[in-house]
Structure 1
Amino acid sequence: MARFRSRTAGAVVALAALPLVVAPPAAAAPTPDYTITVDPARTGPAIGDEMYGVFFEDINYAADGGLYAELIRNRSFEFQAADNRSYTGLTGWTATGTATTVDDAERLNERNRTYLRLTGPGSITNAGFNSGVAVKEGELYDFSVWARSDSAAALTISLATAGGAALATPLKINIKDNTWSRYAGTLRATSTSDAGRLSMSANGAGAHRLDMVSLFPRATYKGHGLRKDLAEKVAALRPGFVRFPGGCLVNTGSHYAYDAASGFPRARSYQWKDTVGPVETRATNANFWGYNQSYGLGYYEYFQFSEDIGAAPLPVVPALVTGCGQNRATDDPALLQRHIQDTLDLIEFANGPVSSTWGKLRQQMGHPKPFGLTMVAVGNEENLPDEYFANFGKFRDAIKAKYPAITVISNSGPDDMGVTFDNLWAKNKAAGTEMVDEHYYNSPNWFLQNNDRYDSYDRSGPKVFLGEYASQDAKFFNSLAEAAYMTGLERNADVVKMASYAPLFANIDNVQWRPDLIWLDNDESWGSTSYQVQKLFMNNVGDRVVPSTVTGGRVVQPKPITGRVGLSTWRTAARYDDLKVTTPDGTVLLEDTFDDGNADGWTPLENRGAWAVADGAYAQTDVTAENTMVAAATGITATEYDITVKATKTAGDEGFLIPFGIKDSGSWYWWNLGGWNNTQGAIEKATGSSAAKEQLLTRPDTVNTGQTYDLRIEVRGTKVTLIRDGEVWGSFDDNQVTEPFAQVVTRDTKAGEIIVKVVNASPEPALTKVDLGRLKVASTGRITVLTGDPGEQNTRSAEPILPVTSTVKGLGSTFSREFPGSSVTFLRLKIR
């Protein structure tokens, strides 16, 4: 019989005399969904200060009425029908009395040609941007005007609501003579309103000439003329660079288009020399996005803003080869050489000594110190790779000859893959280009499926600048997909040197493109859910990747392509006939020859276009309508089938769209022939909405008007072969898995911390084991989480997706953490 001696009493006790107690088995630790294993012994790639930046383009009225703080629209009366058919010289203004806009020899200067002539007593009133001029009680607003009068005249300047309620004490200005002079004063707002009106009243009997009417809030960002709340939101991102001024407005319209009346160039590409010097001497330009830009926000202001927020400036100059759905290259060597010289002059403007021509102008504008420009991008999304790269080489050679330290950035066209992309990448590699600018806008699933995109890039080849990217919608799920993708950008920081979401701004009342990072009206602004993701990453970059791997997972496997078959057009009229769907053994699943004169088996998905059966074919005749999709009522459930149809373009800009695998109006594939103004073909896949499309295949393509094409789509599970007139046009296999979980670990040497970044785009929480190896960390850390309904958006009235930061305990070299469904989590751990 076993015995033991009590430590307290020293008595000998028989164990048999004690009741037998059996301890319950220890509960098994739950099996983690994922395991993150960190290897601190290996050295990951360094992450530069310029890893993340911002891209500003004057799209969505981002400059005038946006970042540029001017409160007066059409302040110099330069709006013309030549720019936009809805424009006149008085766009934005209302007048009493005799008021006309004039372009004659009495103009202010050659670039600011049109002015207002107010004859006799009268007034003009400007309603500003959006709903009106926004003013805040107690704030100061600086007014100025260039004026002349052939008789003594006094101007009364007032701010009031549309109903006449005063918003400031009126300002009096006396025009002294009949030569152009600048007159200025200050208004102090006595009330707050976002619907103000600025009025100028003249009391003299003669002709009063007015130009460059301006009202600026005194409180701008660092006193440099930019709207404070918007600039502060950009600064809060802590961007490493600012790419400007575009975008499509840089490389389209590279050839001058002259106003027939004056011979003065109006619609033209963004050229930096138009945008510097005294603001009253700068041109007003009709831009690519269909509205005018005043150039009050010009190259000097871009450089100054970059400096103010501690970011490197990255200007983009025209390559004289169009992109953005257009195909044109200059054949004028003198024009090309002038643009090359303009680029050299730009570098001198940014970096040259004050003794140089352009350095002296920079000094005269108030900045004798060089801006420290280190990089220039040539061109944007060019569709003609041979012509573009020939021009790029000439730009690069000239820049390197004079400024060898400047990084000259090329690009890979408008897509993330395809013939043009491959062609330009091959040219850039062969030429030893330092950096290549990639652009793509894709569905959230694409971003979740392509986290490893840069894993296989050549480490010794050109570096990547991801100049434009976004998931094609504004919901939190899109932001989650972008966040997951950004972990792959950081993991490949030795290849991807810079990245910027696009576009940056959108004016809520004037939207040409979405999604966008920051939204605004005339007095408010708010960040999208993607803004919150970008801010979280950009404020927690780190300086080096710590190698890590993840195991486990809930991948979503691809499914065979099934669903309805459709027909569509895009700004094109077309006829379709003899549509048939058959299985490989010849079984007919769907057939319509349209010989019976009706289309009873077809329904519109988008309610656009003018569809009717005519002459034994189904025709769409509206050449302005976009995405006119109609779908057959019969759904295809077979996983192997062939679609055949005869298609004839009768008029319009593009070619054919043959949808298949249609689930609903937001989920489908289509074969796009003659797209992008009849220059390119593609297979596009919509997931969730018609706006969220990704390209699975692209190639140059043209469709001839009046020619009938025999089109065939062979579907075999996830594999598709496309045949036009008996020849294989292309093929693809949509077999990628979707991985909703992504992670990366970086080190912040200065803070002495590692940052564990985890994205869980699944709606289900993810129990995760984190193994830091031999890395010792404090038991308490800081955690920041973005989480919420994946369908939510941040709006003017509510911002449901905002970061929450708290303290977390129980950390160590190994720990477990449940990451919420639909979340982005950053853990900052102090290294011991």
Structure 2
Amino acid sequence: MSGTRWRLGLGITALLTAAALLPSPAHAEAAADYTITVDPSAEGAAIDDTMYGVFYEDINRAADGGLYAELVQNRSFEYSTADNASYTPLTSWTADGTAEVLDDAGRLNERNRNYLALGAGSSVANSGYNTGIRVEEGKKYDFSVWARAESGTTLTVTLRDAAGTLAKVREIAAEGEWRKYTATFTATRTSNRGRLAVATTAPAALDMVSLFPRDTYKGQSNGLRKDLAEKIEALSPGFLRFPGGCLVNTGSMEDYSEASGWQRERSYQWKDTIGPVEERATNANFWGYNQSYGLGYYEYFRFAEDIGAMPLPVVPALVTGCGQNKATDDDALLRRHIQDTLDLIEFANGPRTSEWGAKRAEMGHPKPFHLTHIGVGNEENLPREFMARFKEFRAAIESEYPDITVVSNSGPDDSGATFDTAWQLNREAGVDMVDEHYYNSPQWFLQNNDRYDSYDRNGPKVFLGEYASQGNAWKNALAEAAFMTGLERNADIVKLASYAPLLANEDYVQWSPDMIWFNNHASWGSANYEVQKLFMNNTGDRVVPSTATGTPAVSGPITGAVGLSTWATSAAYDDVRVTSADGETLLSDDFSGDASQWTHTGTGSWTVQDGAYVQTDTAAENTMVTAGDPAWKDYDLHVKATKKSGNEGFLIAFGVKDTGNYHWWNLGGWNNTQSAVEQASDGGKSTLLSKAGSIETGRAYDIDVKVRGRQVTLYLDGKEWGSFTDDKPAEPFRQIVTEDERTGELIVKVVNAQDTPARTAVDLGGAKAAPKARVTTLAADQDAVNTETDTPVTPVRSTFSGVADEFTYTFPANSVTFLRIRQR
């Protein structure tokens, strides 16, 4: 049995059994639980330098209060109920005396409409973000304000916290029409709770009250917060996709105009974001706050250049996404947006003698930014309407700029009717590249390593612009790492890939998970960040073909109780029956009495009304009630359901093990636009089957679910709606081998996403390798999460001296390991 490679699972019983079968310790050393076989002579896919990048969107206060280094919140008094119902023009400000925000002919300019009228002897103080304004002892901070004041007016500017002053008080003599005034503070103490106050001796108008740390990223004016920018730079991203995301193509699409009044709820317009900061607009951010546009297109291009990344802007296609699902029929508006896109390319690439190239040069960058790719649209759920408009954008761009790659997209999901239609249209149109987005459970990522193996090698390339496994624990990052080995194996198809979202202020979270977390004084990389950084800094130039043994699949029937739920909807359920495959009644409830058979595990308000079980809270999400035995298998579930009011339809659950593990048929989901079967695994969801469709209010539906083993068939009003077999294994052991042509190293990348070590025989296929390898390992408990004060997921570097043509390496439990092996 010498040299035999055992294909065993990694349970303790299996290991003991294997040991018992071996005749001697020598043979035990030769045995391995996995094998990796490398073929260095075979041709693998080339990996572009730009394969891995970052996607930036102003979500979770990623810009103001985040990457944009401005320390004053609502610096130009533009906050409005259009941004957030709780906002006023004085949000984050405290006034002492007479202070009124005005919007009249006395404003600073047309874009910056609101300003503060401050009475004699009055003052205002700003609270910044999080707990306050962060200053560090000995560091300099640049203050500025635009003011209009009577002759002899003195503005007194202070920086303090509850314990006292944080810097020497500054007094500024102000007089006359609008003018910018500046001062510099040097902090005498460190504080996270600072307040910036401005007081006046006489009536004065103030606008654009600003405080910037002198120590920005690369010392740039109107610059970026240094620690956040440096964490992004440390990823070595090949591209920077910006500015979104849902905020790109949501809103009215209109611009400001006197004819239409003061338009605030509109899509992201790049021209609003360039030029002097005091002349830039603010906007109602899709994610429920105000965005100042102090961090605008010029700063994005400059940042991409600074970190060595390809800029990849995304412009609206005049079809809204992210649940809005509208398409404009205004041809003049479409023409203007197409021209704006051509102007954007000129702004990035045009000579300084061109109209928009001159504006770039005027801002401080006479040389072009070398734009090569541009995205049109984001997650549109109306694929035919989107494609009609995309073609017009592409034709105009290719006519003037034939070398620009115009990127399309496939909607918001990894599968389903919208996805399939979008891909069909993209193929028919001969699109160069399609932007895919999906957020799924860790199990989905472990199950779908082979996703791109079957993609058409002659069709459009893939830009995986947004993906994440619905959590920041180490188990999430492990699953993503396993999936990334499949991305690299298919580097001929997947040309670009970026985790999303990038940034999150811990006190202003609209979406989680996120790669980098921060507050006003610290930042830290998530477990997902460490995985992305490891892959992005060790990508290699080509794939070296390799194979590996797998983990024996463990399968069994779908088991679990049943459940009813709603999402932002009121619905009534009746005549619930569960019958075993042999006809035994397991559950029967017509709600003629109480609901004692049901357990309420979610939110919402459930009561028995008129012989039905009714959930009445139209704001509550996931209102799950469950009944039955978690051991149930092979059964038929019948439910009669009626939507009473709200945004969506019904959620009929089966295979319910607990609150985080179940299947449900989501009828009328996604704002009542489609239906799908979703599987929840440890709280994360992935879609197994999806179709377009909606649910009518007031109509009774007969819903039946037939579960046999892992095969499920679904019926709506007696007609088969769809079926699926949930039997795809979640493979915890994945690997890829690449070559770094500059160093001559093979990079063996192995993910072991299970609780036991993976003893592995590695066969380099005759490659002449040096005996020592540089090793980087990420390993932690699966539930470990990096925080500000504790980072259990941290790379450990070591040296392995046992490299040979054939050698054995034990990959730790729950680990990602990279071995860089120098070839001789």
Give TM-score scaled by structure 1 length: 0.95
C-alpha displacement of 1:130: 0.6
Q: Hey, what's the Cα distance between the residues in 1 that align with 2:741 and 2:189?
A: 50
Write out per-residue CA displacement over residues 96-115 of structure 1, whole angstroms, 9 at most, x where no aligned residue.
11000000000001110000
Aligned to 1:566: 563
Check 1:28–1:479 CA distance in 2 against 1; reply closer, same or farther (3 A cut). Answer: closer
Q: Hey, what's the Cα distance between the residues in 2 that align with 1:725 and 1:617?
A: 19
Aligned to 1:16: none
Aligned to 1:186: 184
Alignment of 1:471-550 (within 5 A): 471-550=469-548
Answer whether contact 1:320 1:336 (CA < 8 A) is retained. yes
Q: Hey, what's the Cα distance between the residues in 2 that align with 1:25 and 1:269?
A: 69
Q: Hey, what's the Cα distance between the residues in 2 that align with 1:199 and 1:105?
A: 26
Alignment of 1:88-167 (within 5 A): 88-161=88-161, 163-167=162-166
C-alpha displacement of 1:191: 0.4
Asked whether 1:761 is paired with 2:753, we answer yes
Aligned to 2:575: 578
Answer whether contact 2:119 2:200 (CA < 8 A) is retained. no
Alignment of 1:207-606 (within 5 A): 207-224=203-220, 225-256=223-254, 263-551=261-549, 553-596=550-593, 598-606=594-602
Asked whether 1:623 is paired with 2:618, we answer yes
Aligned to 1:612: 607
Aligned alpha-carbon RMSD (Å): 1.5
Asked whether 1:725 is paired with 2:730, we answer no
Answer whether contact 1:257 1:267 (CA < 8 A) is retained. no
Asked whether 1:672 is paired with 2:666, we answer yes
Q: Hey, what's the Cα distance between the residues in 2 that align with 1:257 and 1:747?
A: 50
Amino acid at match of 2:631: T
C-alpha displacement of 1:223: 2.1
Q: Hey, what's the Cα distance between the residues in 2 that align with 1:301 and 1:377?
A: 18
Aligned to 1:686: 680
C-alpha displacement of 1:507: 0.4
Q: Hey, what's the Cα distance between the residues in 2 that align with 1:260 and 1:658?
A: 50
Write out per-residue CA displacement over residues 738-763 of structure 1, whole angstroms, 9 at most, x where no aligned residue.
11000000000101111000000011
Unaligned runs of 5+ in 1: 1-22
Check 1:555–1:509 CA distance in 2 against 1; reply closer, same or farther (3 A cut). Answer: farther
Which of 721, 735, 744 lines up with 1:743 in the alignment?
735
Amino acid at match of 2:164: A
Unaligned runs of 5+ in 2: 1-22
Amino acid at match of 1:565: V
Q: Hey, what's the Cα distance between the residues in 2 that align with 1:464 and 1:427?
A: 15
Answer whether contact 2:566 2:615 (CA < 8 A) is retained. yes
Q: Hey, what's the Cα distance between the residues in 2 that align with 1:28 and 1:562?
A: 39
Amino acid at match of 1:605: T
C-alpha displacement of 1:276: 0.5
Amino acid at match of 2:751: V
Q: Secondary structure at the match of 1:121?
A: coil
273-282 vs 577-586, which moves further: 577-586
Amino acid at match of 1:577: D
Q: Secondary structure at the match of 1:29?
A: helix
Alignment of 1:33-112 (within 5 A): 33-112=33-112
Q: Hey, what's the Cα distance between the residues in 2 that align with 1:25 and 1:265?
A: 78
Answer whether contact 2:561 2:632 (CA < 8 A) is retained. no
**Which structure is larger by alpha-carbon Rg, 1 or 2?**
1
C-alpha displacement of 1:481: 0.5
Q: Secondary structure at the match of 1:453?
A: coil
Answer whether contact 2:375 2:406 (CA < 8 A) is retained. yes
Q: Hey, what's the Cα distance between the residues in 2 that align with 1:555 and 1:170?
A: 70
Amino acid at match of 1:90: L
Q: Hey, what's the Cα distance between the residues in 2 that align with 1:203 and 1:326?
A: 50
Q: Hey, what's the Cα distance between the residues in 2 that align with 1:262 and 1:328?
A: 20
C-alpha displacement of 1:559: 2.7
Answer whether contact 1:409 1:435 (CA < 8 A) is retained. yes
Q: Hey, what's the Cα distance between the residues in 2 that align with 1:247 and 1:54?
A: 12
Q: Secondary structure at the match of 1:424?
A: helix
Q: Secondary structure at the match of 2:248?
A: helix
Amino acid at match of 2:175: K
Give TM-score scaled by structure 2 length: 0.96
Aligned to 1:8: none
Aligned to 2:651: 657
Check 1:26–1:80 CA distance in 2 against 1; reply closer, same or farther (3 A cut). Answer: closer
Answer whether contact 1:555 1:740 (CA < 8 A) is retained. no
Q: Hey, what's the Cα distance between the residues in 1 that align with 2:123 and 2:254?
A: 36
Check 1:556–1:164 CA distance in 2 against 1; reply closer, same or farther (3 A cut). Answer: same
C-alpha displacement of 1:694: 0.5
Q: Secondary structure at the match of 1:251?
A: coil
Q: Secondary structure at the match of 1:767?
A: strand
Answer whether contact 2:648 2:695 (CA < 8 A) is retained. yes
Answer whether contact 2:507 2:519 (CA < 8 A) is retained. yes
Q: Hey, what's the Cα distance between the residues in 1 that align with 2:820 and 2:534?
A: 12
Q: Hey, what's the Cα distance between the residues in 1 that align with 2:447 and 2:26?
A: 40
Q: Hey, what's the Cα distance between the residues in 2 that align with 1:494 and 1:261?
A: 50
C-alpha displacement of 1:780: 0.9
Q: Hey, what's the Cα distance between the residues in 1 that align with 2:151 and 2:691?
A: 66
C-alpha displacement of 1:703: 0.7
Answer whether contact 1:443 1:472 (CA < 8 A) is retained. yes
Q: Hey, what's the Cα distance between the residues in 1 that align with 2:26 and 2:496?
A: 50
Q: Number of residue pairs matched?
A: 800
Amino acid at match of 1:324: C
Asked whether 1:822 is paired with 2:819, we answer no
Amino acid at match of 2:586: L
Amino acid at match of 1:720: V
Check 1:773–1:463 CA distance in 2 against 1; reply closer, same or farther (3 A cut). Answer: same
Which of 689, 699, 707 lines up with 1:707 in the alignment?
699
Which of 778, 781, 795 lines up with 2:773 in the alignment?
781
Amino acid at match of 1:482: E
